[in-house]
Amino acid sequence: MQDSNVLPVNKVGIIGATSLVGDCLVKQLVQSGIRVAAYSRRDRLSNVDGVDWHRLDAAAALDDKSIKYWVSLAPITALPSCFSLLEAQGVRRVVVLSSTSRFTKVDSSNAEEKAYALRFAESEALFQSWAENLGIEWVILRPTLIYGLKRDTNVGEIARFIRRFGFFPLLGQASGLRQPIHAQDVAGACLAALQAPSAANRSYNISGAETLTYRAMVSRIFLAMHRQPRVFSIPLWLFQMAVAVLRLLPRYRLWTAAMAERMNQDLVFDHSDAARDFGFQSREFKLSSDDI
């Protein structure tokens, strides 16, 4: 008997399937016996039974018009370019990944970050308007700091800095609270929200199960790397100088002094609505060898 609390999803289209969360979601869908149509601008990550891979730039030529359920893991700002693909497939429900950064960066001292937050907010509104005009069910998920599987640009970036320099700089006490969320838990939230009737036409913040300070998070990364924490508190002016130099290196070109300022800001989001509506659960911040 079909569970009335779960939609009968037997095939899912994924935009951004080669992303960190996309790789996790593809595996979870296959394990659940759900067929996957994986779309990406890059080549597929692996050859897995139950997964049909497609390049987004060739999607218009596809004959398959039977994908009713979709998850978009590409940047939400790029989603409008896929609206025609979704409409052609007869889409009924779309789960889209956004970010809590649309809230946390809105007051940033960095103009680029403020513009980033504005674009995310505008993209969410555009997606919602498009879906509602066509009678398509929509769900927006906004995760906190995503980490995991050595592919993230959050915890993974801190770990790479530690490997290269042997220490990590902190602004003041770095007492701002964080809730890191594992990529596998984000993927699980996407699948659960896709199947839950009660999640239709709603936005959710999703966060990790553990709340800890930025300083504690960095120390946990050191320990996971089997190193004693070596952190140094430095003033903002020195951070600004250091970031200006680091930005000359390709890997650190996106770093800003505003990132350091947020080390002392609480970036905490309640996920009780997600737990209530589609049973969202997340793990504590415990790093394994697969993550670092």
Mean pLDDT along residues 246-261: 81
Residue 40 scores a pLDDT above 50: yes
Orientation angle between helical segments 155-165 and 214-224, nearest 10 degrees: 60
Amino acid, res. 181: I
Residue 292 domain flag? no
Mean pLDDT of the residues in the chain:
91
Residue 266 domain flag? yes
The pTM assigned to this predicted structure is 0.93
Residue 65 scores a pLDDT above 80: no
Amino acid 100: pLDDT? 98
- Residues 205-246 have pLDDT tens digits of 999 999 999 999 999 999 999 999 999 999 888 888 888 887
Amino acid 253: pLDDT? 77
Amino acid 4: pLDDT? 59
Residue 291 domain flag? no
Q: Which residue has better confidence, 146 or 248?
A: 146
Residue 228 domain flag? yes
Amino acid 238: pLDDT? 87
- Residues 149-206 have pLDDT tens digits of 999 989 999 999 999 999 999 999 999 999 999 999 999 999 999 999 999 999 999 9
Enclosing domain of residue 243: 11-278
CATH number of the structural domain spanning residue 241: 3.40.50.720
Closest C-alpha to 128, from 185, 79, 88? 79
Residue 2 domain flag? no
Residue 94 domain flag? yes
Amino acid 5: pLDDT? 75
Number of domains composing the chain: 1
Residue 247 domain flag? yes
Residue 116 domain flag? yes
Residue 60 scores a pLDDT above 60: no
Per-residue pLDDT band at 2 (split at 50, 70, 90): very low
- Residues 74-112 have pLDDT tens digits of 999 999 999 999 999 999 999 999 999 999 999 988 888
Residue 257 scores a pLDDT above 90: no
Amino acid 74: pLDDT? 94
